[in-house]
Structure 1
Amino acid sequence: MSENPILFGAARLPRAILFGRGQRGAIGSTSARVGRRALLVTDERQAAQPEFAAILADLQAHGVETQVFDGVIPDLPISAIDACVAPARDFAPDVVIAVGGGSAMDLAKVAAVLLTHGGQVSDYYGEFAVPGPVLPLIAVPTTAGTGSEVTPVAVISDESRGTKIGIASPYLIPQVAICDPELTASCPPGLTAVSGADALTHAIESFTTARRPADAMLTEEHVFIGKNVLSDHFAKLAVANLFKYLERAWRDGSDMEAREGVMLASLTAGCAFGTAGTAAAHALQYPIGNLTHTAHGAGVAALMPFVMQYNRPACAEAFAELATLIGLPDGSVEERSQAFIEAVADLMAAIRIPASLAELGLAEDQQEYVAEHSLKSARLIKNNPRPLDLDAMRAITHAAYSGERQQLTAI
């Protein structure tokens, strides 16, 4: 993966990113410059927080009229999107503000598409299906994991198809991302763990995605373009911060320095994968999440050491580089790359991420379904650094189900 004589990089990002404690105080002023009628998308728990009330007051003080939709639920179903969009059409917002986790930001993105272009959610599945700019989006994350505040993708659950599906378009990138670590202070340890582990998966997968030829049309023909020098920069910052701060934030939610470090990692991991893309761990999680109804972050994190073990022959140098980054001992490329996989597994164990798909709740007879349906995520499969077919997906699934990574070393 390191042999590429052409230096190439790309980044698709918001117009503005604000990061730091207290930055939520800029929401009212920022929104007023974008629009005067704001649809706020959040969940019921967040809507009851004093910080949310303060955001509403700030918007009002800046002359922004608001309509609140607080019906966001995990594994975003189409019914929740419809429930948001229907009343919003009469309100006619000129800006959409998401305050919450990944599902809130995903719903806001899709709502902005539907309010601008009409149609059904399914009209926009896949890459580049959004025909043009959408209502301006302002994203205010309250968890540190998805990085959705800076990415061009929204993931929804299509119950009629029995799967999660992505809508990917550069038009979905929020205009402004406001990342205030203080908004994550109320996250319980379990949510801190799965969110942070999700960010680590984003960072590692984006750093090891397949590198494509540096063609001038690459960004025109693909939303996710693979490994490049700019996404690598963001990914390495995320990996370093998560190894330094994630377990601390999980152990003590009041440790604001750790909260800052994890939120910065989530943001930069989003900057990385929003351009480079993710791969096999995400492809496998979609059917697993549908079957087990477990958090996305828990699924990709449980899978990650197994996916890394399968991918190691194709990206040993990249893993070795990350091993050096986090301070693992010197050694050969083979030694350091394996040591990094072990370090990832150890961090996941330390924050109590399930160590196997069986522990996650997958039934033994569902393994074949997972392997088969994971291959439907073409945008993720094509990003993997090592080719994936049904046999490969079976091998990863079976190893992840049993929790035995060594069986992947001989493949």
Structure 2
Amino acid sequence: MTHFAAIRLPHEILFGKGQRHALPTVASRLGRKALICTDRRFTETDVFQQMMDALRGASIEVLVHDRVLPDVPRESVTACVEEARDFQPEIVIGLGGGSCLDMAKCAALLLSHGGRLQDYYGEFKVPGPILPVIAVPTTAGTGSEVTPVAVITDPDRTLKVGISSPHLIAAAALCDPELTMTCPPGLTAVAGADALTHAIEAFTAARRGADPLLAQNHVFIGKSALTDHFALLAIKLLGRSLERAYADGSDEEARADVMMGALAAGCAFGTAGTAAAHAIQYPAGALTHTAHGLGVATLLPYVMSFNSSAAARELAEVATALGLSSAGRSTGEMAQAAIQEVQRIFAAIGITTTLQALGLAADQLDWTAEQAFGIDRLIKNNPRSFDLDAMKRLVTAAYDGDVAASAL
């Protein structure tokens, strides 16, 4: 058997309790002037002040941009870059949730190459290396600390847009579970469900073959032996600890599992990519103005069911990673068990169960399906192929709450 595999990751990933204290040492190896991208809420914490004092104590000059907004509005990046240009940072540190990390990537991009963000939309549009980025997540979900993508909101477009390039991968990721301890239950749930969706979609993604130019022409290239390893690790950790972290935010072991799960899921989908759940969420999220993680998690059981005829073996492995016994069960039965277990976990942490409950209107279903079907980079990654009618049936099933119908 010939194995094909590819993976793109930061030069350095540090994970564990207290790893935030390594930030001055890591930063010192990359530069002496740091732009900090974070939000106002985090700057008001004692932990943030301690981290800034530690950087200054290591003779690193800092400029704090503390106005990062959810979903990174395009013009907010322009404002950050203009604020930082005279400072001439040598490194950019993203400190916060996924939007803070994406802001850091975008700021480093424009500070390095100029132009407008619009110039870089899509894949492989970044012409070369950017200022080194250090990603320090304070939530456990997006995986942005290790992925080659930044997602922003463009007022000229209905859907959020992405910039995808290996040059956007952070130079270093510092993942300290202690930074997630104050995340409220709702955010813990949505972020963790986002991570589980990343892992399952990466593991069940289409296998695209061994074309030697595949990874040179595409950022997201489908599942492989290496991405599978990370995806299964993520599924195992999130399956056993997401509910615990949601129920008791002070559970250090559960918090560590969930953060490691989000990190591993990012390592998987950052190369493998995601698929139909993400494709549908983009238009559904634009119409309902709901959180990305909530949307993809709402859709995941329906997409798993749709894919069950093409990815039964992979879904059976998902069931095993979630801790379910295969004794006396066929591959198909294990695949169904995986779908049911994901539904159970999401119900336990308060994830919305239908597109209707998410706020989508019945007269928006066809438009949602048409837009989702047009997102080729995600649709071609799905293990079961689509035509527009199949997408409409899937979207309708997700609206009606009929998981069984989505398999048709």
TM-score grouping bracket, smaller chain normalisation: over 0.9
Segments of 5+ residues of structure 2 without an aligned counterpart are none
User: Is residue 2:154 matched to residue 1:145?
Assistant: no
Once the two structures are overlaid, the 10-residue window that deviates more, 340-349 or 68-77, is 68-77
Partner SS state of residue 280, structure 2:
helix
Q: In structure 2, what is the equivalent of residue 366 of structure 1?
A: 364
Q: In structure 1, what is the equivalent of residue 127 of structure 2?
A: 131
Q: State the one-letter code of the partner of 2:355.
A: L
User: Is residue 2:362 matched to residue 1:349?
Assistant: no
Segments of 5+ residues of structure 1 without an aligned counterpart are none
User: Which whole-Å deviations, capped at 9, do the CAs of 1:246-284 have from their partners, x for residues lacking one?
Assistant: 000000000011000000000000000001110111111
User: Which whole-Å deviations, capped at 9, do the CAs of 1:274-303 have from their partners, x for residues lacking one?
Assistant: 011101111111111111111110000000
Distance 1:325 1:298 in 2: 22
Distance 1:376 1:39 in 2: 37
Q: In structure 1, what is the equivalent of residue 157 of structure 2?
A: 161
Distance 1:237 1:201 in 2: 13
What's the C-alpha RMSD, in Å, of the aligned pairs? 0.9
Q: In structure 1, what is the equivalent of residue 192 of structure 2?
A: 196
The verdict on how the C-alpha distance between 1:407 and 1:98 changes in structure 2, with shifts beyond 3 A counting, is same
Q: In structure 1, what is the equivalent of residue 266 of structure 2?
A: 270
Q: State the one-letter code of the partner of 1:51.
A: V
Distance 2:30 2:227 in 1: 28
Distance 2:391 2:382 in 1: 12
Distance 2:137 2:322 in 1: 26
The verdict on how the C-alpha distance between 1:309 and 1:134 changes in structure 2, with shifts beyond 3 A counting, is same
Q: In structure 1, what is the equivalent of residue 275 of structure 2?
A: 279
Is the Cα contact below 8 Å between 2:315 and 2:335 reproduced in 1? yes
1:4-15 residue pairs with structure 2 within 5 A?
A: 5-15=1-11
What is the total number of aligned residue pairs between the two structures? Answer: 406
Cα displacement (A) at 1:215:
2.0
Partner SS state of residue 150, structure 1:
coil
1:2-401 residue pairs with structure 2 within 5 A?
A: 5-330=1-326, 331-401=329-399
Cα displacement (A) at 1:378:
2.0
Q: What is the TM-score normalised by the length of structure 2?
A: 0.98
Q: What is the TM-score normalised by the length of structure 1?
A: 0.97
Q: State the one-letter code of the partner of 1:160.
A: D
Cα displacement (A) at 1:225:
1.2
Partner SS state of residue 223, structure 1:
coil
Q: State the one-letter code of the partner of 1:368.
A: D
User: Which whole-Å deviations, capped at 9, do the CAs of 1:329-354 have from their partners, x for residues lacking one?
Assistant: 32101100011011111111110000
Q: State the one-letter code of the partner of 1:131.
A: P
User: Which whole-Å deviations, capped at 9, do the CAs of 1:48-83 have from their partners, x for residues lacking one?
Assistant: 111111111011011111111111111221021112
Once the two structures are overlaid, the 10-residue window that deviates more, 316-325 or 178-187, is 316-325
